[in-house]
Amino acid sequence: METDLHALLTSLRVWDPDVTDLRPFDPDTAPPTPLHLFTSWFADAVAAGQPEPHTMSLATVDEEGRPDVRIVMLHGADADGWTFGTHATSRKGRALSAHPQAALAFYWPVLGRQVRLRGPVTAAPSRESQADLQARSTGALAAALTGRQSEELSSLEELRRASQAAWERARENPAEPSPTWTLYRLRPETVEFFQGDADRRHVRLEYRSTGFGWSRTLLWP
């Protein structure tokens, strides 16, 4: 029997109280910089059991101005920006080379929270990029050594052979570099924190970089 997509969609709930803890958020108590609030909310998401809280949507614009989005992993966040990694030769790597601006979005449904960031993106030096890769798992290195990200694949067997060879190289030489692997850093110009509310009075607090610090503004939900 064919699935009735509309009926399925209308049967679903958002923020079921059995699995979601919608916590009060008083923006007047928010810290002066977004990094501190992000770190606190991230820790809350981990403690609440949010699966893979370090994954995020990355939106870019390609060489022809067409938007694209995908899920990537957060590698770190500090005063210099939020970091993620990919091959410079991948679709997102080429897009960032053509248009070095991007947006990130985190969604933690167990708390009804989102965090959205926008800003310019820069590539870290090769030494820093390779150090970040070496600090990750053997699987991460094997995936990076497999390479050819976003290129057309002739068959799953071709992928199996290339991946197997990459895993062997990663195990034999955990310090082997992946020349095209690049750590990218997004330095946000805006950071929005969204806290869901059961009565739909969602709280949205946006930090805006002023060049001399951060301003804070409430947004209508």
Cα 149 → chain centroid: 18
78: which residues sit within 8 A by CB, 6+ positions away? 35
Give the pLDDT of the chain (221 residues) as one tens digit per residue: 789 999 999 999 899 999 999 999 999 999 999 999 999 999 999 999 999 999 999 999 999 999 999 999 999 999 999 999 999 999 999 999 999 999 999 999 999 999 999 999 999 999 999 999 988 899 999 999 998 888 999 999 999 999 999 999 999 988 898 999 999 999 999 999 999 999 999 999 999 999 889 999 999 99
Angle at 131 between CA 125 and CA 137, to 5 degrees: 135
Burial class (CB in 10 A: 0-12, 13-18, 19+), 153: exposed
Give backbone dihedrals phi and psi of 129, rounded to 5 degrees, phi first: -65, -45
**Sign of the alpha-carbon dihedral angle for 38, 40, 43, 45:** negative
Question: Do residues 166 and 181 make contact, with C-beta atoms less than 8 angstroms apart?
Answer: no
Are the C-beta atoms of residues 39 and 102 closer than 8 Å to each other?
no
77 DSSP β-pair partners: 82
Q: Can you give the pTM of this predicted structure? A: 0.93
DSSP string, 118-172: EEEEEEPPHHHHHHHHHTS-HHHHHHHHH--TTS--S-HHHHHHHHHHHHHHHHH
